[in-house]
Amino acid sequence: MARQCRRGTGKYYEWQCTERGACNLGAKGGDWEWVVLVNPDIEIESVDFFADLISQCGTVPSFGCAGVAQRNPDGSYELVARRFPSIRAILGRRIPLLGRRLFKRDVDTYLNAYPNRLDVNGAPFSVDWLQSSFLLIPRDSWQTCNGLSERYFVFMADTDFGWRCREKNLQSWFFPNLEIRADGVRSSHGGLLDVFRKRTLRIHLRDAFKYFLTGLGRSTSSRTNATASVTASHCAKPPLR
């Protein structure tokens, strides 16, 4: 779902989108200052959520986009913040034998590099990319990065957006002291055999193929942070409300 908020009015205009082109179309025109991508299953409980998040966005440098902790019904948290994937990491996730043995380190680095749980005392930190089930983007960053790439049907467009933010010297920021609710259902979940059962998984793999074909899956070691922390000189701890 693409959602825009007219500055100062608190009014939202929203519509369902199934392709990244629909998100781009929805974000065109008007005098919007923020673009928010949010899935239909996301629940935002606090009426002050957007005001809190936007105020904290002003405390971080080179701001490109923002994500927050997403809690599932069972108490687990979505992997919102991740490192850029490698082919080995993708294969290790889909083929458990490879993930447990040959590519274990690649999978762990991809999935577990950043903490994704709620930390009410946690300071924001920059990450490689953020899942677009909820993503807050200022209009200037959206326009600088030309929105979401329409080469992808759904999946990998958010990963690609993280790359393009980085290439424009913008950073993706995770705010662990804010939380929203998710339903815990991932349409791209599944192993190798599920490729034959789930159309969404086939779409995910097709989008991943396009991602790696463009060269975006190259090594990121020289372009990403090795840790999930931000030094105090770069980010002041925002006040809690």
Q: Give how far the C-alpha of residue 1 lies from the chain's centroid of Cα atoms, to the nearest Å.
A: 14
Tally the domains of the chain.
Answer: 1
Per-residue pLDDT for 138 more than 80? yes
* pLDDT, tens digit, 9 for 90 and up, residues 39-67: 889 999 999 999 999 999 999 999 999 99
Length of the chain: 241
Q: For residue 83, count CB atoms less than 10 angstroms from its CB and return exposed for 0-12, middle for 13-18, buried for 19 or more.
A: buried
Residue 11 has pLDDT above 80, yes or no: no
Place of tokens 């804010």: 178
Distance between CA atoms of residues 35 and 54, nearest Å:
12
Name residues whose C-beta falls within 8 Å of residue 22's C-beta, 6 or more positions apart in sequence. Answer: 2, 15
CATH for 107: 3.90.550
Q: What is the Cβ-side half-sphere exposure of residue 104, based on CA atoms within 13 angstroms?
A: 4
Q: Is residue 237 part of a domain?
A: no
CA distance 120 to 238: 11
Q: Is 62 in contact with 170 (CB distance < 8 Å)? A: yes
| Stretch among 142-151, 172-181, 182-191, 209-218 having the lowest mean pLDDT | 182-191
In the chain, the amino acid numbered 79 is L
Note whether residue 241 is domain-resident.
no
Q: What confidence score (pLDDT) does residue 12 get?
A: 41
27, part of any domain: yes
pLDDT exceeds cutoff 70 at 129? yes
Q: What's the CA angle centered on 143, arms 29 and 122, to 5 degrees? A: 115
Share the mean pLDDT of the chain. Answer: 77
Answer yes or no: is 240 within a domain. no
Residue type, 225: N
Q: Confidence band (pLDDT; 50, 70, 90) for 197?
A: low
For residue 81, the cross-strand partners are: 130
CA distance 78 to 185: 10
Q: Which domain holds residue 53?
A: 2-213
d(CA 208, CA 90): 9
Q: Which of 23, 132, 36, 148 is nearest to 80 (CA)?
A: 132
Give the pLDDT confidence of 103-128 residue by residue, as tens digits.
Answer: 888 888 888 999 999 999 999 999 99
Cα separations in angstroms, 59 against 62, 192, 195, 237: 10, 43, 43, 8
In-domain check, residue 132: yes
* Cβ within 8 Å of residue 32, ≥6 positions away: 4, 5, 6, 7, 139
Interstrand relation of 125-127 and 63-71 (parallel, antiparallel or unpaired): unpaired
The more confident residue out of 209 and 18 is 209
- Say if residues 130 and 157 touch (Cβ distance below 8 Å): no
Domain presence at residue 225: no
Q: Does a structural domain hold residue 190?
A: yes
